[in-house]
Amino acid sequence: MGLWPGNFLVGLLLLLGQGKEFGRGMRPIDGDKAQNLQTEKNFPFLCSPKKLGLNMPSESDIISHFNPSVLTSTCPPGKSTAPIGGVEDLWIQAEELVRRLKENSQLDFQHDWKLINVFFSNTSLCYLCPSAHKNGPLMSDMDKLAGVLHYLHQEVPRAFVNLVDLSEVVAMPRWHQGTRLRPTPESCGCSGETSKLATVVMQWSYQEAWDSLLASSSFNDQESFAVVFQPFFYEVSPPAEGPPSQDPTTLALSLWNNMMKPVGQKDEPFSAIERRPMKCPSQESPYLFTYRNSNYQSGLLKPQRQSEGREGTVFRCPDKDPSDSTPTSVHRLKPADIQVIGAMGDSITAGNGAGSKPGHILDVMTQYRGLSWSGGGDHNISSVTTLANILREFNPSLKGFSTGTGREHSAGAFFNQAVAGDRAEGLAAQARRLVDLMKNDTRINFQEDWKIITVFIGGNDLCEFCYEPVDYSPQNFTDNIRKALDILHAEVPRAFVNMVKVLQIVNLRELYKENKISCPRLILRSLCPCVLKFADNSTELDSLIDINKKYQEGTNQLIESGRYDTREDFTVVVQPFFEKVDIPKTSEGLPDSSFFAPDCFHFSSKAHARAASALWKNMLEPVGQKTTQHNFENEIDIICPNQVWPFLSTYKNSMEGHGTWLSCGERTPSASPPTSVHKLRPADIRVVAALGDSLTAGNGIGSKPGDLPDVTTQYRGLSYSSGGDGSLENVTTLPNILREFNRNLTGYAVGTGDANDTNAFLNQAVPGAKAEELMSQVQTLVQKMKDDHRINFHEDWKVITVLIGANDLCDHCTDSNLYSAANFFNHLRNALDVLHREVPRALVNLVDFMNPSVVRQVFLGNPDKCPVQQASILCNCVLTPRENSHELARLDAFTRAYQSSMRELMESGRYDTREDFSVVLQPFFLNIRLPVLEDGCPDTSFFAPDCIHPNQKFHSQLSRALWVNMLEPVGRKTDTLDLTADIPLPCPTQEEPFLRTPQNSDYTYPTKPAMENWGSDFLCTEWNPSNSIPTSVHKLQPADIKVVAALGDSLTTAVGARVSNSSDLLVSWRGLSWSIGGDGALETHTTLPNILKKFNPSILGFSTGTWEETAGFNVAVEGARARDMPAQARDLVERMKTSTEINLEMDWKLVTLFIGSSDLCHYCENLEDHLAEEYVQHVQQALDILYAELPRAFINMVEVMELAGLHQGQGGKCAVLLAAQSNCSCLRHFPNSPVIQELKKVNWNLQSGISRFSYQHKYMQREDFAVVVQPFFQNTLIPLNELGSTDLTFFSEDCLHFSARGHAEMAIALWNNMLEPVGHKTTFSNFTYSRAKLKCPSPESPYLYTLRNSWLFPDQTAKASDVFHGAVPLAAGGGLLGGLVVGILTVSVCRSIRCHQKKAPPASLHIANF
């Protein structure tokens, strides 16, 4: 039959009712109603609205679009068809219809095609009961309608009859209250399922029953007559708020659209609120669809594929044993330890349709819980693959699995408490019921038995999302899961919970849209409308896909928050195998329906088996390496637990799988505890500890990519040198390696937290720590080891790993003196000295810090991944310098200097003086081979989200490299770390069983080469002069200085600075003088003029050589005292005035005045002299001359050194030489004699007097003149060598004056003082060699500091000027106290009274602080 819509001449609306059974009260639409049908507006007609010219179509209006001459049959005006009971009503209407058709003069009754709509409804709700479909009401209905249809068949030629079932439509309370199509529905005692699934399955079954009956009836075996069943089913899950009132207009459109769809594909539910567009005939399908031209085959009768049966598998795992004893930790849980299994979820977990035969759609309502992938236990693994049956292979006594069929309350359900149709909001109720069942079941030991609980939910939430986007929001979804898991966490002991991610549900559309697959689309469309009803690429579909992803992400975030890892016997693990699941395909590339139940929505037993094997695989895969896209097409393959690592994987025992295999067979300790560190085996180690900064503290090790705030979390349990989380099989750290040799190891950190947390234990590293803070960490560590009852402080062998320096380099550009290599050296040495002195039986690993160039490469090479905007905050001096800049060159010089200082300290042999203690430099960090990706960018996968801190992947390599170093001989250690290399863990051997030290490596320290010079590296980047010559001394930059000059004694003339070839020791090497010498260049001779030459190569006035003629403006005289200063000042002024090289008025002059050593040397000859008062007067007279005569002058007034303290610590030949000194009689006296004590008092008085000159008002009257006291000599440090005795290389041959090396140190100290604000100047000179100690001006602080530009306020000035009035009595009251104590007391006074002058470094065994 090929019937076009345009063929219709007559459109008839025949509304039939069947008395009591078929809707008493049904009547034709009267004339008034027909009139109303033509006044409705705004109905979407998409075929050709302009041609139609109608505002609101009824079905006859639609037909008239294709054939304008169509006729409609209605009751005569003013008349209506009154209801007549029973079948008589049908016959009367049918006979009246036929009579009118025959009598209508406009109609060719024999040749015109007619469309007749027969409407009926069941007032009894039993019509959907399954029992109604077999010899029940449905057959009775058909019989009763058959007579009327047979009459029409016999009497009406060329007719297309729509048999329209309005049972659901008229039964809905939202149907238009005024329509005469609304009967009063009668109740039904139909028992059985009332769920959504049951409803849609019965709807489909009801429709199929009608179609089957009509398709096989005589009504459809002729060419000129057809009857087609047109169903109207409401959507099962409409929105909570009711739709607007409906009218027959909606019916007209829905009926039309149904007519446009083939029989068997009428799957679009009737929507009460959704105005769908009108469908149009197409060139491919121009006809109205009948059973014949639809090629309809009943779903109840069509041949089905053969059932593939249940899927079993062969189980071959060799190790099925449980743990030796019942584990107390969920992170040590073997499969055979599991004694109870449970499950929660929806119809997938309930097993709906899992055992249904193909085509038995009604059976999908059966819950085959015994076949459920996560909770079923029917048969065994050889015939049914489920998680429970897999676990039963390990433990045949497993309990809790479900068997057979039934709902959650059935006995066979046991602990499978999934509820068909449930959404996430119902999960908490399931959890509550499951917990109660477990507590009350006598078959299990609730407290002791280990339990597996699998949770899978979310499909129904996604299917309904478009109706209630708020209720089914990702936040609510996650919150509902949280509520359920919280119940389990709070109440269930010894539990491992599988949280299976919601599947990627959009792929269901493949099944729905593939017409070659026999699927009940009405069921699919009704079960999951929000996935299936929207068009491809629609915003609604995109929104659903996004929500699906957010459901998955929210689940991840909830579990990864650590919320459920607060107990050792409970954890929740996300199992993601459903995350990116694809629909399985046949060999023809079509969706494989064998994986689905007959409804094409639920899983078949085949899919349940594949899901079970995928879940099992996920459970054994480490977190971070779990399969997220399981291929369901693959045959089942049950993987076995790793024999080395047989535990179920958790977040804590996985840590992204960074474990290592240790193959060492020999792991025994020494026969008796060794007494020598050089005979120390790994198994002898009982205590492990660590010191350092954020790298050792573990910042960001476990942070997820992109989670920048989490970098502040200190993952100490994962730290390479001290972490003890997990075990070596999954977390590679030094403690976990050592625990393979000694299970009683202690001291390691676990979990997260700061150094004060108890779980940090002996990992006392502090994020942000610099070398200066290392001493504090050492003191805390030593005290903790002494106090902890788990440690035998004197007997236990300890490994302590130290790594420091990165933060010093991050800030080195802010204060090059404070962060100098010399200071780094001192801080490190002081900390190691305390360990050496205080800790018995210890091996200390000193680890090289990571070269900052590596951090620069990663950070700056990945601007899209790294927080480049925060570079200045994270590590300013490393990350912000430009490529090829002087700042970067300076950083490189500092790095090399730090590394050299560490090697120098180790090669001094300083820590090899005890048999039970050694410090070994482990150099593996010296050179890093950073992997580069194909796009040329450095690989960030080794770094935390800040691109600075190493992540777990990096720390694992650090641990391996450190262990390798510890077993390598000193002198042959690996100094390169390839981050991508496979680094196997070596084993001690019988020939070499010990951890290596210099002694057991037969290592000889290299002889230190003689220094060629005492120059310095110039690393400053700001060296330009002011834009114009400054008129104010307070805005004077180094490059503005044109002239240098100096006043003083033999220390300024540089007597003895170089060894003389003659017997005369008193040669003045003025060209090497610290404050005025200009021999050579800065690279070979560090002097103040040579520093200034870098800023202004044309500087004048410096001395060269030894001759008086080349002295320049160095007017110092050997043996001069303070009384000679006025004369020297006048000499200097005269030289400058007569010089033809300088412009006295315009050139800026830097004058350094240093005097007092000779005054102190001769004070002992006459103790009654008023030395201090006279000293100050003479110096002031000299300053007055300079103030009166010299324009544009900056005066350095250097405080006199502490004479006795500097020289009386010298021994050997110097003791003899100093006692014989004729020009320093005070040094002939014993250190503790009354004379020396008096000398010290006077020494401090001289310093006190000098200190006031910076604050004298008289020198502040001119804008172009300033006197600044430089106090670096205030607290003198005796320079010591590696053995702790005085380092004589700083002194001349007479042991009284300074050598070229000493002059270089004085020049550095003076220069750095000049760049420090008044009130914040360093008050000591650090006699340690480094070429990178010079400070630099900065854009923020470009000027030489004066009182005014140091921003000291008047009250501070007054306070500072009076400081030494309180210091002198302390010095005088020292009695028999030596210079060391006096110095310490004075430093304390200075620290509390003065304007926060920079303190001297702490005293140690090898530094004397004066």
- Please list the active-site residues: 347, 461, 602
Distance of CA 1293 to the CA centre of its chain: 62
- Of the candidates 324, 983, 990, 997, the one whose C-alpha atom is nearest the C-alpha of residue 667 is 990
With the C-alpha atoms ordered 1260, 1261, 1266, 1267, is the resulting torsion angle positive or negative?
A: negative
- How many of the other CB atoms lie within 10 Å of CB of 566? 9
Q: Looking at the DSSP assignment, which residues form a beta bridge with residue 495?
A: 451, 570
Beta strands in 793-908 (DSSP E): 797-803, 842-847
Between CA 892 and CA 852 the distance in angstroms is: 9
Q: In sequence order, which ranges of 395-538 are alpha helices (DSSP H)?
A: 427-440, 459-464, 474-491, 508-513, 521-527, 529-532
List Cβ<8 Å contacts ≥24 apart for 1092-1096.
Answer: 1092/1038, 1092/1041, 1092/1044, 1092/1150, 1094/1018, 1094/1020, 1094/1023, 1095/1023, 1095/1025, 1095/1037, 1095/1038, 1095/1039, 1095/1041, 1096/1025, 1096/1038, 1096/1039, 1096/1040, 1096/1041, 1096/1042
Burial grade of 589 (CB within 10 A; 0-12, 13-18, 19 or more): exposed
What number of residues does the chain have?
Answer: 1410
Between CA 1251 and CA 1390 the distance in angstroms is: 12
Q: How would you write 318-385 as a 3-class SS string?
A: CCCCCCCCCCCCHHHCCHHHEEEEEEEECHHHHCECCCCCCCCHHHHHCECHHHCCCCECCCCCCCCC
Between CA 632 and CA 610 the distance in angstroms is: 6
- How many of the other CB atoms lie within 10 Å of CB of 1263? 14
With beta carbons less than 8 A apart as the criterion, state whether 1116 and 1047 touch: yes
Distance of CA 666 to the CA centre of its chain: 39
Helix, strand, or coil (residue 1019): coil
Token pair for residue 605?
């037993």
Between CA 1118 and CA 1124 the distance in angstroms is: 11
Name the DSSP class of 1243. H
Q: Looking at the DSSP assignment, which residues form a beta bridge with residue 1298?
A: 1291
Helix or strand holding residue 1355 (H, E): helix 1354-1361
With the C-alpha atoms ordered 830, 836, 839, 842, is the resulting torsion angle positive or negative?
A: positive
Helix or strand holding residue 225 (H, E): strand 225-231
With beta carbons less than 8 A apart as the criterion, state whether 1322 and 1316 touch: yes
Burial grade of 643 (CB within 10 A; 0-12, 13-18, 19 or more): exposed
Residue with tokens 């078959």: 443
Token pair for residue 28?
């034709």
Beta strands in 141-218 (DSSP E): 159-165
Token pair for residue 1027?
């834009």
Q: How would you write 519-556 as a 3-class SS string?
A: CCHHHHHHHCHHHHCCCCCCHHHHHHHHHHHHHHHHHH
With beta carbons less than 8 A apart as the criterion, state whether 240 and 181 touch: no
Between CA 856 and CA 882 the distance in angstroms is: 11
- Of the candidates 786, 697, 680, 796, the one whose C-alpha atom is nearest the C-alpha of residue 746 is 796
Q: Parallel, antiparallel, or unpaired for β 450-456 and 495-500?
A: parallel
